[in-house]
Amino acid sequence: MEKQTSRKSLASKAVVVTVFAATLITAARMHGAASREQSASPQEVKIDNFSFSTPELTVAAGTEVTWVNRDDIPHTVFSEDGSFHSKALDTDDKYTFKFAKPGTYHYFCSIHPKMTGEIIVK
Partner 1 sequence: MKRDEIIYDHDHNHDGVDRRGFLKCMTWAGTGALCVMRGGVLSSYALGEASKKKMAGDLSFVQISDSHMGFNKPANPDVRATLQVALDRIDALATKPEFLIHTGDITHLSRPEQFDTVGQMLTGKDVFYVPGEHDNIDDNGKGYLDRFGKNTQGAGWYSFDKKGVHFIGLVNVVNLKAGGLGTLGPEQLEWLEKDVKHLSHSTPIVVFAHIPLWTVYQDWGWGTEDSGQALSYLKKFGSVTVLNGHIHQIMQKVEGNITFHTACSTAFPQPQPGAASGPGPMKVPPEQLRGLLGITDVNYVRGKHALAVIDSTLA
Question: From residue 33, how far is each of 25, 40, 84 by CA, in Å?
Answer: 12, 14, 28
For partner 1, the closer of residues 97 and 108 by Cβ is: 108
Contacting range for partner 1; rule: CB under 8 A; set: 10-18, 31-39, 52-60, 108-116: 108-116
CA nearest neighbour of 118 among 52, 24, 25, 31: 52
Q: Does residue number 71 form part of the binding site for partner 1 (CB under 8 A)? A: yes
C-alpha 122/C-alpha 66 separation (Å) is 17
Contacting range for partner 1; rule: CB under 8 A; set: 1-9, 13-21, 33-41, 84-92: 84-92
For partner 1, the closer of residues 25 and 90 by Cβ is: 90
Strand ranges for 1-122 from DSSP E: 43-48, 51-52, 56-59, 63-69, 78-79, 94-99, 103-108, 116-121
Smallest distance, partner 1 to C-beta of residue 54, A: 15
For partner 1, the closer of residues 2 and 92 by Cβ is: 92
Smallest distance, partner 1 to C-beta of residue 49, A: 4
